[in-house]
A and B are shown apart, each in its own frame.
Chain A
Amino acid sequence: MTLPTVASEAPRLAVPPKPRRPRAALLGWVAAGLVVGAHLMAWSATEISLGNLVAGWQGMARFLAEAIPPDLSPQVLADSVAGALVTLWIGLLGTTLSIPASLALALLAARATTPAPGIYQAARGLLSFLRAVPDVVFALIFVTAVGLGPFPGVLALVCHNVGVMGKLWAETLEDADPAPAQALRSAGAGRLQVASHALLPSVTPQLIGLLLYRFDVNVRSSLVLGLVGAGGIGFLINQSIQLFQFDQMLTHILVVLVLIVVVDRVSAIVRRRLGSSA
């Protein structure tokens, strides 16, 4: 058999007309209508006003004029870097101290490892609750309880992060290949043994990847926590705004930028290394 050399000799078949689906079309229009309606409601509820933006323009310009150039005096820079480090440490501890509780709840909240359906539901419920309460709210609660400073920031991050990381880890465990687990179960291994010898080792890279991702997020969150009094550079930014020292505020923001970029790069590099060793 010889292959056709001219394109027009290649076999062809007429494409049949697409079947009409009136129901799908109707649903599409309804969905589009709902989305537009939601935006109209949102527009009026958030009091969006271009007029106010234009009127506020001068204030914004004055603010920028005072902020530039940033105050790079050694004293301010040193404060700023020290604050940024505290922010970093809050993010770090907020992540690592939440590992034990996240792991325990993830194991209880994954179908393959939970001891009973009731416990599964309870663990899922607890995770949802911790996730639903924003870390800033936890921070406000802990600041009232233990006073201003980085410590309430760590507590707040741990609480919220257990909710998020526990959920992510539970999902990862549920997606793990069930076959090795089944093999061990049929050889008489118990639930914890199956988890530690079959399920966890097969998803370790994913779990660590998620941990690094949460570290990244938590460093950024701990900045916001500083704004409500939970220590770190966020606290300095808040202070400089209240004292109208906008040039110092800009210094802090630039230092934050460096911190965020560095954390982001490092965690990306580690995650890539993990991916290639999986």
Chain B
Amino acid sequence: MLALTDIAVRYGDRDVLHGIDVTVAAGELLAVLGANGSGKSTLLRAAAGLAPTTAGTVTVDGRTRRNLDIALIFQQIHLVRRRSVLDNVCAGALGRLPLRRSLVPALFPRAVREEAMACLDRVGLAHRAHDRAGTLSGGQQQRVAIARALHQRAPVILADEPVSALDPAAAEQVLALLAELAHAENLAVLAVLHQPDLARRYANRLVGLRDGRIVLDGDPGQPVDSLYPSRALQEVP
């Protein structure tokens, strides 16, 4: 379980997040929604230890967060395009391998490769193992990134707009995969989304952010209009 308690983040003299309390249970997919600039990415980065928190704690299964505990998935997929799909997935295990077994891909132990194949199989891409990552479609690359996250064996996956660069069909596929993995592998998955509709269908719970505060937390089917500036009220410059 991932727990953020009373997190605050400040950039310069601007408070970007205040008093954030969120928990994501193992086996749960939590969707985070909010307007541009509301602090969603900052919340994710704070959970991953990448944002300057001024207050609060992050724990994983009751212990202080370690880098290895959290796998990240990004909107811009961040695979090494010139390496094979399999090598990219193997990179998920780097954090637990000694340098002499991991300095170059040829040194990866057999067990690491085979576990990577199993992870690739989990996302339906075992048959592409030896292709260059850059030759896959965006949706396939995002699934490779998920396989890499699985190979990291982290109990928590944080995904920042994992489907924003994908077409609707690929987006469905990736979210369905994340939801299925959360349940089947008992992972705590937190995904930032911009599509209330996808959140409603795939998330177990929904958190809404506005101006750095949590203003909604609960049923993924609840109305989210209050999160977004309404068109009628928008200022005309």
Contacts and interface: CB of A to CB of B under 8 A. Distances in A.
A187 B82 contact: no
Contacts of A184: 91, 94
Nearest to A178: B78
A211 B13 CA distance: 47
A201 B106 CA distance: 14
Nearest to A184: B91
Contacts of B92: 187
B48 A197 contact: no
B96 to A, nearest CB: 7
A179 B77 CA distance: 9
Contacts of B95: 187-189
B80 A189 contact: no
Nearest to B66: A188
B230 interface: no
Contacts, number: 68
Nearest to B69: A188
A193 B81 contact: no
A202 B80 contact: yes
Interface residues of B, number: 33
A196 B97 CA distance: 14
A197 B72 CA distance: 17
A278 B152 CA distance: 28
B102 interface: yes
Contact of A190 (B91, B99, B152): B99
Contacts of B68: 187-188
B5 to A, nearest CB: 21
B67 interface: yes
A190 B99 CA distance: 9
A198 B72 contact: no
B201 interface: no
B54 interface: no
A193 B99 contact: yes
B91 A179 contact: no
A57 to B, nearest CB: 58
A180 B87 CA distance: 13
Task: Determine which residue in B67, B94, B97 has the highest number of CB atoms from chain A within 10 A of its CB, and name it.
Answer: B94
B178 to A, nearest CB: 17
A182 B48 CA distance: 12
A201 B80 contact: yes
B103 A193 contact: yes
A187 B67 contact: yes
A31 B94 CA distance: 54
A197 B65 CA distance: 25
A183 interface: yes
Interface in B81-122: 81-83, 87, 91-92, 94-97, 99, 102-105
14 contacts: A180-B80, A182-B78, A183-B78, A186-B50, A187-B72, A188-B94, A188-B95, A188-B96, A189-B94, A189-B95, A190-B99, A193-B102, A197-B83, A278-B82
- A-B pairs with the 5 shortest C-beta distances? A188-B95, A189-B94, A183-B78, A188-B68, A179-B78
Interface of B: 48, 50, 66-68, 70-72, 74, 76, 78-83, 87, 91-92, 94-97, 99, 102-105, 145, 148-149, 152, 154
